[in-house]
Amino acid sequence: MRSVLAVLWLVACGHPATKAPVDAGATADAAIASDAPPDGPAACAPFGAPGTCISTDACAALGDHSSYPGYCPGPADIQCCIVTPNVADNPPVPPGWTLMPQANVTPAMTSWAVAILNDPVDYPMFSTTTMLFGTLNVLARVEWHPPDFQNSAVHRGVTLYMPAST
140: left (phi over 0), alpha (psi -120 to 50) or beta: beta
Mean pLDDT value of segment 47-60: 94
Span 99-128, pLDDT tens digits: 999 999 999 999 999 999 999 999 999 999
Domain boundary assignment for the chain: 2-15+87-163, 30-83
Of the pLDDT bands very low, low, confident and very high (cuts 50, 70, 90), residue 139 is very high
DSSP string, 136-162: EEEEEEEEEE---SS-SS-EEEEEEEE
pTM for this entry: 0.70
